[in-house]
Structure 1
Amino acid sequence: MTVALFVVVCVVAVALIFDFTNGFHDSANAMAGPIATGALTPRTAVILAAVLNVVGACLSTEVAKTISGGFFDETLVTPVIVLAGLTGAIIWNLITWLFGLPSSSSHALFGGLIGAVIIGAGVGTVHFGVVISKVFLPAVAAPVIAGLAAASAIKISDAVTSNLPKKKSAKKGFRNAQAFTAALVALAHGTSDGQKTMGVITLVLVAANLQSPDTGPHWWVIGSAGLAIGLGTYSGGWRIMRTLGKGIVKIDTEQGAAAGSATAVTILASAHLGFGLSTTHVSTGSIIGSGIGRKGSDVRWGVARRMVYAWLLTLPGAAVVGGAASLLADQGIAGTIILLASLGVACLVIYLVSRRNAVDRTNVTESPEVLVLNAAKPNKIAKAQRKYAKRLAKQAALDAGRVPAHVGGVSSEVTATEEERAQHASRESEAS
């Protein structure tokens, strides 16, 4: 195997790893709502989403063609540059997953590739006009459109059902509707995001002169990308599911059905037009819209604001990581191997950190007081617990007539007189 072919194989493998992270990172887009309302069990939801993601990935290739031949001058892009861009996207995906932030896997991919291409091939290699028309403008418009559609849908639903008796059959009908719309969103996610990995692999094959320009993805590219995103979805992105299902708005089945319908229609329409749309942005906009449209619903704007910050940082953040990875990978085969090793270490570290505060199907529907950034808190909680235990021990010693004394820097205990206890209590009062 030649060095060039080895690099291509590595890039294809890393692209499929990104596709896997895309699956578990964005599986919440479809299934957070029905899991939160009980319309679907967690296990049923991820199985359904996984199957439909695979099916959706095989339905169209318009987005794949946009990525492989639209964003960059593919004649100047090398497989090593694509590898660096994928590294930036994967690391950003895992970081935002760790903190439960539903950022855009699509924008992480675009950002990583743009940063790597600028460093590796020059600014002129990026077709910024296409990036603006196919990425930036849809990123601004789509969540607003989906949110307005969801808000309108829930208002119409409330108006129609307001005078109807609250029967179990009606509730069951909305639960079934929510499950159906969630299935549509999963299908749409596969159609949109599954193609992005196909486009990246096709870009690499063209750059390595293994495929002719202006051609679509091969059948094995379509199949492997669909399988990777399906397996990732099956693994379940429970952290982000909890944020979307419980962190923004506490939704019911009617709101979930409205949000799911708006999300599915928006994503399927954009995929047909070849837009590199973020399913995360659309899904979040729909959920917020369903909360705004329902009188009395409490939208947690603090959580939504932090999510918007993550959205704004995703593309430039992934671009910085992708650019740095491009500098490293440009050092020949040794640089490529070091880059792959660094990616493996980063993935392992993030996984080990995540296990300290695991979220899975058994606790995904819980509503902790703070959902976002909760993975970073175990150390703070443990520190507070130790401090509290120390205070209790000191108070118990005081009540028993013994106070801590420090002799030569070493702590010991001596029997306290009434005067010593009074002095100790005075010092404690002044300190507090």
Structure 2
Amino acid sequence: MTFLIVIIILAFVFDYINGFHDAANSIATIVSTKVLTPFQAVLWAAVFNFAAFFMSKYIYGEFRVGNTIAKTIFEQYITLKVIFCGLLAAIAWNLMTWWYGIPSSSSHTLIGGFIGAAVANAHGSFDVINYAKVMPTIYFIVLAPFIGMVVAFFITILIVNICKRANPFRAENWFKRLQLLSSAALSLGHGGNDAQKVMGIIAAAMVAHGSIDKITDVPNWVPLCCFTAIGLGTMSGGWKIVKTMGTRITKVTPLEGVAAETAGAITLYLTETLGIPVSTTHTITGSIIGVGATKRLSAVRWGVTVSLLWAWIMTIPISALVAAVVYFIVNLFIK
């Protein structure tokens, strides 16, 4: 029982880190356009991160993303030690990428850590992986930013054409107000997608421990605590990543901020409906690129974008490798 409590606490720590690591996703554009101060922006995002709990529970009626994460590994291969090592590896990679200001995916870090520890536990066998759950997630490493980019591109073109005769000063003031709504929508999507991942890990740990019979039996305090942890983490902010997301990819105006955040929110709601865990980081990055591409392709700093792409591709394998190493070390002390 003590080991399970340690894992649950560690999962909440990861959720908190996920919040401040990914705060940039929800607030990068609203800060870079100076609609809100950084503190106001993280407070705004945190409120809607937590509100996502009610949307998932009462509108969607279930925590689909959490169920997918919990079933990444076949149930018979899930042990408390596997989950413990996967969480340690995910926390380590998240902290390192946050320190260097790299907007990597907390979602894929968690999945990679879970897989790596399980494979190590199975002596290198990849039969532990439930590919029916893992492969859609891998596909959406590419699809989520692409969908965000395409949707943002068309939303921006639509808004520009609708507002081409509007007074520029009045239009900018309106879009600053609208950005509050689009940022809130993105934060709802972020909370709904990301908090559920940790919930899925805790549910898997409780099944492995024997506290519950199946993942869907997870008690209500688990999702409530997960959404609270990610909201508190978001309030802590992640300013290095804000700088990368809000200014280094392309310069964003309030109009473009509305388009990028709306596109990101639409993509996140779609993937939550499908129960596919995606990266909020990847999604909003694709949306910002789509906005920049409406001006001209050279408006996007492709050098920064390529660096981000490499970070995305490497997240799952590196997290898995780190988790495998952590498993072998932990295995020396915990049998």
Q: Shorter-chain TM-score: which interval?
A: over 0.9
Moved more, 268-277 or 70-79: 70-79
Q: Which amino acid aligns with 1:137?
A: Y
1:9-34 CA-to-partner distances (Å, cap 9, x unmatched) read 11111111110111011111110001
Contact map agreement 2:12 2:226 (CA 8 A) in 1 = yes
Which of 126, 130, 148 is equivalent to 1:127?
Answer: 130
Partner of 1:313: 314
Which of 165, 168, 181 is equivalent to 1:166?
Answer: 168
RMSD over equivalenced CA pairs, Å = 1.4
- In 2, Cα distance between the equivalents of 1:11 and 1:36? 37
Partner of 1:141: 143
Question: Partner of 1:39: helix, strand, or coil?
Answer: coil
- In 1, Cα distance between the equivalents of 2:139 and 2:54? 26
Mapped pair 1:323 → 2:324: yes
Larger Cα-atom Rg:
1
Contact map agreement 2:212 2:218 (CA 8 A) in 1 = no
Mapped pair 1:40 → 2:42: no
Gapped regions of structure 2 (runs ≥ 5): 57-62
Q: Following TM superposition, by how much is the alpha carbon of 1:215 offset from its aligned partner in structure 2, in angstroms?
A: 2.0
The 5-angstrom pairing of residues 26-65 of structure 1 reads 26-60=22-56, 61-65=63-67
Mapped pair 1:79 → 2:77: no
- In 2, Cα distance between the equivalents of 1:310 and 1:65? 26
- In 2, Cα distance between the equivalents of 1:332 and 1:125? 23
Contact map agreement 1:58 1:223 (CA 8 A) in 2 = no
Identity of aligned residues (%): 37
1:33-52 CA-to-partner distances (Å, cap 9, x unmatched) read 01000111211110111111
- In 2, Cα distance between the equivalents of 1:81 and 1:254? 46
Contact map agreement 1:64 1:217 (CA 8 A) in 2 = no
Mapped pair 1:20 → 2:38: no
Q: Which runs of 4+ in 1 moved over 3 A?
A: none
- In 2, Cα distance between the equivalents of 1:45 and 1:216? 35
Which of 151, 154, 163 is equivalent to 1:152?
Answer: 154
In structure 2, relative to structure 1, the CA distance for the partners of 1:230 and 1:197 (3 Å cut) is: same
The 5-angstrom pairing of residues 13-412 of structure 1 reads 13-60=9-56, 61-68=63-70, 70-121=71-122, 122-133=125-136, 135-167=137-169, 169-295=170-296, 298-333=299-334
Partner of 1:403: none
State the TM-score, normalizing by the size of structure 1.
Answer: 0.74
Contact map agreement 1:151 1:294 (CA 8 A) in 2 = no
Contact map agreement 1:249 1:299 (CA 8 A) in 2 = yes
1:262-295 CA-to-partner distances (Å, cap 9, x unmatched) read 0001101111210011111101000010000124
1:344-395 CA-to-partner distances (Å, cap 9, x unmatched) read xxxxxxxxxxxxxxxxxxxxxxxxxxxxxxxxxxxxxxxxxxxxxxxxxxxx
- In 2, Cα distance between the equivalents of 1:296 and 1:7? 52
State the TM-score, normalizing by the size of structure 2.
Answer: 0.94
Partner of 1:395: none
In structure 2, relative to structure 1, the CA distance for the partners of 1:308 and 1:48 (3 Å cut) is: same
Bigger relative contact order, structure 1 or 2 (CA pairs below 8 A, ≥6 apart):
2
Q: Following TM superposition, by how much is the alpha carbon of 1:75 offset from its aligned partner in structure 2, in angstroms?
A: 2.6
Residues paired across the two proteins, number: 327
1:213-254 CA-to-partner distances (Å, cap 9, x unmatched) read 242431111111111111110000111011100110011011
Q: Following TM superposition, by how much is the alpha carbon of 1:297 offset from its aligned partner in structure 2, in angstroms?
A: 6.7
Contact map agreement 2:163 2:171 (CA 8 A) in 1 = no
Q: Following TM superposition, by how much is the alpha carbon of 1:296 offset from its aligned partner in structure 2, in angstroms?
A: 7.9
Gapped regions of structure 1 (runs ≥ 5): 336-432
Moved more, 55-64 or 262-271: 55-64
Q: Following TM superposition, by how much is the alpha carbon of 1:162 offset from its aligned partner in structure 2, in angstroms?
A: 2.2
- In 1, Cα distance between the equivalents of 2:301 and 2:85? 37
- In 1, Cα distance between the equivalents of 2:219 and 2:298? 47
